[in-house]
């Protein structure tokens, strides 16, 4: 069968609004996907739903379809998105209204069953704001098989948008794990949009035009292999490096689990086959686990924050003074962070200043709100010399906590509301294996030997290695790789867990895992608990660990001069 061209037009809720139009007008595609559901987004949608039960979906998608639905129908392009969030039924109804108002005969289906909020107590999840199981791609495949033009889902895995489209197009069986894993790899690369075409890329200065990167396209073949590309004439670039960066983004070990298959990250071969064309091949898959991951968001309490500016001399003493002065007004659970952004003998006042950040958390909104804010402001004429704030603290705001859960796949309905109004159930995969087997860690492979051939120089790691980092709940992930083949033996033998903790002192007391991916010349580190209880908890300066990899690349160590 012919190659299936799957484009992506959204990497998060709030991504470039006209990307759908760009993908439709820029060249031929068969399917356009959109990913809207980051962990934080689920919390945002849960709060929306709590205020107005008829909401809970990504509202921006409706605006995009007002602009593009007629053109997609004209070109015969299918649209598959997880913009349904916590209310795919509601979004599907709105889409039907929109199609009628535009006089567009679009057949709309939606996938649901992932929302476990009403069963959360019986499943052991307490009483959260949201609890959604990660469904796979077979509901999407069923909807497309029934003639749907637009498929809206709730919480499916990001890669499932591509898996479902490919499984339908090629007629794959649920046990075609290698093929499914190949589509998972392609889906993982394009799910974050322009991160595959040069966005957030460590070696960004090698990309010719990054002003407006084009969105990615995966040309998927019948065996699950794919070529990652983009429309001609668009900005950014698709290279081995930009694709590798996305492959190592927010993963764990060599086994990348999903509800339809387990993708062996250590099997992927990445090769450039032409300008802006990178092939993924040799992908291997294994049977999926018998459990589904569940995204759980609950109210953690209330938070408030303030940043004190400390200028000039005696920074540490000034920080100690203000902490002692408002100690009694600070709730339990408050964190203080002193960022030494000051420089000696600075030419500007800003360069002479450090920032003392205080984040207050607690269950009592009065204590975290007015009491804390008053204490931080009223001390203004009675504290350290040069006292001032970046901005006055506000009122207490609720914050959420994300935690992952697990539920037996047989406990979760996977339902598809078809365009004709009927509903079909998608049975759980019959070939699942126990989660402990499906997701078992892969033994670290034998490392290639390395012996330095010449002198070394103390320099930033980033002069040799690239990195990309992100969050998974309270954990941070840092993928590090080299694009020079001869530098791989040095990297894998040098950047151990112990060396990482030395380079990143914030991680020293935490559990850190290292996973080796030789075909990618990459290491992935999982740092447990660095982000506290998730992004909304705001445990550190970079709450989603998006720049953690860049901090690591800026750290100095001895590097062989042959690589510099």
Q: What's the pLDDT tens digit per position in 52-93?
A: 999 999 999 999 999 999 999 999 999 999 999 999 999 999
Indicate whether 528 belongs to any domain: yes
For a pLDDT cut of 70, what percent of the chain falls above it? Answer: 99
Dihedral sign from CA coordinates of 286, 287, 290, 295: positive
Residues contacting 118, CB < 8 A, separation 6+:
none
Residue that is last in its domain, among 361, 382, 400: 400
At residue 266's C-alpha, the angle toward residues 434 and 561, to 5°, is 145
pLDDT in tens, 383-428: 999 999 999 898 998 888 888 999 999 999 999 999 999 999 999 9
The beta-strand segments (E) located in 28-95 are: 31-34, 78-81
Indicate whether 143 belongs to any domain: no
Give me the phi and psi of 430, to 5 degrees please: -80, -10
Q: Specify the pLDDT at position 1.
A: 64
On whether both 396 and 460 belong to a single domain, the answer is: no
On whether both 386 and 465 belong to a single domain, the answer is: no
Residue with token string 């970079």: 542
Q: What is the DSSP letter of 55?
A: -
Specify whether the CB–CB gap between 174 and 431 falls below 8 A. yes
Residues pairing with 270 in the sheet: 280
Q: What burial letters (b/e) apply to 322-355, b meaning 16+ CB within 10 Å?
A: bbebbeebbbeebbeebeeebeeeeeeeeebbbb
Residue 248 banded pLDDT, cuts 50, 70, 90: very high
Take residue 332 and report the two structure tokens written for it. 């339990």
Q: Specify the pLDDT at position 537.
A: 73
Q: Among residues 247, 254, 286, which one has the least CA distance to residue 516?
A: 254
Residue that is last in its domain, among 400, 425, 442: 400
For a pLDDT cut of 90, what percent of the chain falls above it? Answer: 89
Q: What is the DSSP letter of 164?
A: H
Q: Mean pLDDT of all residues in the chain?
A: 95
Residues pairing with 560 in the sheet: 456
Residue 43 banded pLDDT, cuts 50, 70, 90: confident
Residue 329 banded pLDDT, cuts 50, 70, 90: confident
Indicate whether 493 belongs to any domain: yes
Residue 435 has pLDDT above 90, yes or no: yes
Q: Specify the pLDDT at position 419.
A: 97
In this prediction, residues 483-505 reach a mean pLDDT of 97
Residue 328 banded pLDDT, cuts 50, 70, 90: confident
On whether both 469 and 558 belong to a single domain, the answer is: yes
Indicate whether 310 belongs to any domain: yes
Q: How many domains does the structure of the chain reveal?
A: 2
In this prediction, residues 41-46 reach a mean pLDDT of 90
275 three-state secondary structure: coil
Residues contacting 78, CB < 8 A, separation 6+:
30, 31, 32, 72, 144, 148, 149, 150, 151, 165
Q: Specify the pLDDT at position 331.
A: 73
Phi-psi category of residue 391: left, alpha or beta, with phi > 0 → left and psi -120 to 50 → alpha: beta
Q: What is the DSSP letter of 327?
A: G
User: In whole angstroms, what is the distance from residue 192 CA to residue 310 CA?
Assistant: 38
In Å, what is the CA distance from 121 to each residue of 125, 194, 269? 5, 39, 44
Q: What is the DSSP letter of 78?
A: E
Indicate whether 354 belongs to any domain: yes
Q: Among residues 215, 214, 204, 278, which one has the least CA distance to residue 243?
A: 278
Q: Which of 46-55, 238-247, 478-487 has the lowest average pLDDT?
A: 46-55
H helix or E strand, kind and range, residue 286: strand 285-286
Residue 517 has pLDDT above 90, yes or no: yes
On whether both 462 and 385 belong to a single domain, the answer is: no
Residue that is last in its domain, among 383, 400, 417: 400
In this prediction, residues 486-505 reach a mean pLDDT of 97
Domain range spanning residue 545? Answer: 456-563
Residue with token string 């290491």: 523
Q: First-to-last CA distance in the chain?
A: 47
Residue 35 CB-half CA count within 13 A: 25
Indicate whether 26 belongs to any domain: no
Residue with token string 């062996």: 264
pLDDT in tens, 437-478: 999 999 989 999 998 888 999 999 999 999 999 998 899 999
Indicate whether 385 belongs to any domain: yes
In this prediction, residues 308-326 reach a mean pLDDT of 96
Indicate whether 474 belongs to any domain: yes
pLDDT in tens, 533-545: 777 776 678 889 9
In this prediction, residues 321-340 reach a mean pLDDT of 88
């Amino acid at each position: 069968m012919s190659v299936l061209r799957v484009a992506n037009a959204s990497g998060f809720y709030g991504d470039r609004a006209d990307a759908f139009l760009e993908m439709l007008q820029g060249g031929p595609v068969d399917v356009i996907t959109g990913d809207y559901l980051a962990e934080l987004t689920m919390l945002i949608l849960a709060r929306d739903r709590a205020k107005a039960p008829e909401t809970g979906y990504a509202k921006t998608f409706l605006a995009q379809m007002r602009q593009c639905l007629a053109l997609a129908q004209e070109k015969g392009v299918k649209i598959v998105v997880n913009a349904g969030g916590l209310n795919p039924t509601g979004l599907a109804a709105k889409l039907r209204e929109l199609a009628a108002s535009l006089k567009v005969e679009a057949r709309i289906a939606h996938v649901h069953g992932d929302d476990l909020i009403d069963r959360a107590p019986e499943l052991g999840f307490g009483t959260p704001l949201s609890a959604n199981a990660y469904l796979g791609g077979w509901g999407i495949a069923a909807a497309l098989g029934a003639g749907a033009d637009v498929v809206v889902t709730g919480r499916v895995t990001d890669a499932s948008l591509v898996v479902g489209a490919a499984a339908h197009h090629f007629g794959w069986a649920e046990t075609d794990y290698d093929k499914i894993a190949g589509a998972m790899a392609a889906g993982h690369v394009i799910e974050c949009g322009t991160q595959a075409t040069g966005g957030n890329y460590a070696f960004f200065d090698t990309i010719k035009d990054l002003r407006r990167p084009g969105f990615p396209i995966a040309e998927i073949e019948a065996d699950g292999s794919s070529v990652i590309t983009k429309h001609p004439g668009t900005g950014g670039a698709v290279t081995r490096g930009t694709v590798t960066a996305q492959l190592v983004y927010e993963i764990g070990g060599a086994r990348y689990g999903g509800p339809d298959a387990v993708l062996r990250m250590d099997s992927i071969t990445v090769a450039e086959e032409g300008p802006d064309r990178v092939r993924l091949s040799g992908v291997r898959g294994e049977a999926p686990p018998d459990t589904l991951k569940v995204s759980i968001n609950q109210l953690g309490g209330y938070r408030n924050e303030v940043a004190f500016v400390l200028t000039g001399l005696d920074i540490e003493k000034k920080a100690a003074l203000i902490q002692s002065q408002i100690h009694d007004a600070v709730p339990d659970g408050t964190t203080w962070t002193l960022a030494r952004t000051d420089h000696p003998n600075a030419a500007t006042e800003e360069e002479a200043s450090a920032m003392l950040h205080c984040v207050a958390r607690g269950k009592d909104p009065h204590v975290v709100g007015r009491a804390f804010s008053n204490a931080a402001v009223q001390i203004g004429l009675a504290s350290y010399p040069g006292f001032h704030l970046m901005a006055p603290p506000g009122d207490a705001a609720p914050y959420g906590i994300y935690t992952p859960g697990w539920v037996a796949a047989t406990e979760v309905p996977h339902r598809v509301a078809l365009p004709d109004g009927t509903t079909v159930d998608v049975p759980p995969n019959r070939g699942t294996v126990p989660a402990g087997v499906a997701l078992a860690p892969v033994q670290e492979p034998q490392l290639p030997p390395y012996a330095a051939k010449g002198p070394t120089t103390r320099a930033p790691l980033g002069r040799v290695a690239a990195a990309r980092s992100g969050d998974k709940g309270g954990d941070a992930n840092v993928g590090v790789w080299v694009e020079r083949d001869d530098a791989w033996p040095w990297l894998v033998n040098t950047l151990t867990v112990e060396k990482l903790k030395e380079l990143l002192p914030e991680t020293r007391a935490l559990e850190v895992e290292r996973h080796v991916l030789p075909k990618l010349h990459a290491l992935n580190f999982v740092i447990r608990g660095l982000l506290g209880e998730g992004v909304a908890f705001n445990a550190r300066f970079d709450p989603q660990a998006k720049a953690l990899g860049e901090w690591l690349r800026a750290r100095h160590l001895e590097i062989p001069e042959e690589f510099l």
